[in-house]
A and B are shown apart, each in its own frame.
Chain A
Amino acid sequence: MEVRTLFDTPNVIPLGKEIATYFYLTGISAGSFVISVIAVVGGKVEYKPLGKIGAVMAPVALVIAPIFLVIDLEQPTRFWYLFIYLQMTSPITYGTFLLTSYPLNAVIYAWALFTGNQKAAKTLGIIGIPLAVCVHGYTGFILALGKGRPLWSTALMPTLFLVSAMVSGFALMVIASSIYNKVTARKRPPQEIAIEKGLILNLVKFLGATIVVDLFLISNDILVLLTSKAEEYYVVDLLLKGQFKLLFVGIEIVLGSVIPLFLIFMRPFKGSLAAANVASAFVLVGIYAMRLTVVYAGQSIPLH
């Protein structure tokens, strides 16, 4: 049956790149914070430099992130309404308090770490881990509770967001600590530099492992979408064959996950710091593509 629409209002995409960038930055922040705490609480003495790098990156990313949220508001001057009028069923209300308490905790944690107060740093770090998990998990809930959007409304979304947060956090940690290692190479004893290189390569293995988990979750999501319901068929078509083919398959999967996996685990790249950095850069690009894909493709299916 031939069906044509003669008149309808256009499909509007209310949430755009500001929101995608916000998701990206909270992801990086949560990821690097968790890595920093793991290094400080669980690690040996030689892991400590990694802990400090993560402790700096986490609050910096999370101070910038909410700026994008406020810019995106139609009424930016009313942003403080979020603190006085609460809707306990809305994930954004939870986010208001998470986005306030998490960076505060992260700043105090970093301060404790740099002043050498290990005990305070450990306590704040352990408090901060659930906060970091929530601060990024809730962004997944924001999308998951958008029930009109077939790509978003899956219980997998918060987990997917958390895992991709870890991926981007690891990737940025690899790059940041490699730069730190290179810059401070002259000032520090060579064996310390060598140990740190070993640590970075260890970090790269973790990066590879989280990429595998991420790919597993994405493939679960796609497989279920492929055998789900009418709207889901359309959105998965959009991702695999349509408008978002390049962004999703090309950049997110191939450039952002598959190529980095090769660079991390295959000879002759395995064990090379340069290859690890290239892989991490690709991962960072890929995760940004993931945020854009989720936000835009989710809203590209018309509602009427």
Chain B
Amino acid sequence: MATGEGTFVPERGSAGHEAPQKKRYAMVIDLRRCIGCQSCTVACKEENNVPPGVYRTWVKVVEKGKYPHVSRSFVPILCNNCVKPICLLNCPVQATYQREDGIVMIDQHRCIGCKYCIASCPYGVRYVNPLKKYVQKCTFCHHRVDNGLVPACVETCIGRARIFGDMNDPSSEVSQILATEPVSVLKPEMGTEPRVFYVGLDLDAADALKTWQRAQEA
């Protein structure tokens, strides 16, 4: 049926119908609360059986300034479970797929290990499991989330810097922080729409190249 120009057509399942809304999981990391203890790094390794040498999450530690005016910044890094993941578009065998709730998954029985996803991910959060020989990454601990728990890194974070939840639910803590705090994401220019948000992200700490260039010169 043709609709007139300017007519508002509500999307199916949106306001007006009491249909349950789709979940969209997201994580907010309040860096003002992060102390760089790497507990999340350890908890993730433990929970997800991550072999030595590779990480699903870690805390990048950056130090800046000259004594006595110095500070340390921490940037916990993990898969952003993007809304528009380039890894998903580029995976030639559809081993990477996205769940209804937005979590980007890898089918371990499907992955051929071409590593194209690793090469195209702007965040460098995928790795080849050195023992099992296929690509893995953070999945927001989907096995825990499906059973009503929060991801292991969130559970273990001693400063409660990591907050996880459904950003489509306005009453969730994640939604409230997103609505009220100044949040940012890593590399927004990539257009991937990351779903890991940071509060209080430092420009220099988020910059992948600033310290790297210095290391090159040295």
A residues contacting B by CB (< 8 A) are 1-9, 11-12, 14-15, 69, 72-75, 78-79, 81-82, 85-87, 89-93, 95-96, 142, 145-149, 230-231, 234, 237, 242-243, 299, 301-304
Q: How far is the CB of A55 from chain B (nearest CB, A)?
A: 30
Residues of B within 8 A of A (CB): 55, 58-66, 72, 75, 77, 86, 89-95, 110-116, 118-125, 127-128, 133-135, 186, 190-192, 204, 207-216
- Do B119 and A89 touch across chains, with their CB atoms under 8 A apart? no
- Minimum CB–CB distance from A229 to chain B (whole Å) comes to 8
Main secondary structure, interface of B, reads mixed
What residue of chain A has the Cβ atom nearest to residue B212's Cβ? A302
Give the secondary structure class of A's interface: loop
Is the pair B211, A81 in contact by a Cβ cutoff of 8 Å? no
12 further interface pairs, Cβ-Cβ under 8 Å (given A85-B94, A92-B92, A234-B209): A2-B65, A3-B62, A3-B210, A5-B62, A8-B60, A14-B115, A14-B118, A78-B111, A81-B93, A93-B92, A149-B120, A304-B186
Query: What residue of chain A has the Cβ atom nearest to residue B63's Cβ?
Result: A4
> Which among B89, B124, B216 is the interface contact of A304 at CB below 8 angstroms?
B124
Q: Is the CB of B61 within 8 A of A5?
A: yes
Count chain A CB atoms within 10 A of each CB in B61, B123, B208 and give the residue with the most.
B208
20 cross-chain CB contacts under 8 A: A4-B211, A6-B62, A7-B60, A8-B61, A12-B127, A74-B114, A74-B133, A78-B111, A87-B91, A89-B90, A92-B114, A93-B92, A96-B92, A147-B86, A147-B191, A148-B190, A149-B120, A301-B212, A302-B124, A302-B209
**Contact partners of B208 in chain A: CB under 8 A:** 301-304
With both beta carbons as reference points, the residue of chain A lying nearest to B62 in the complex is identified as A5
Nearest residue (CB) in B for A235 is B209
Contact A3 B113 (CB under 8 A): no
User: Would A82 and B92 be within 8 Å (CB), given that A3-B64, A6-B63 are in contact?
Assistant: yes
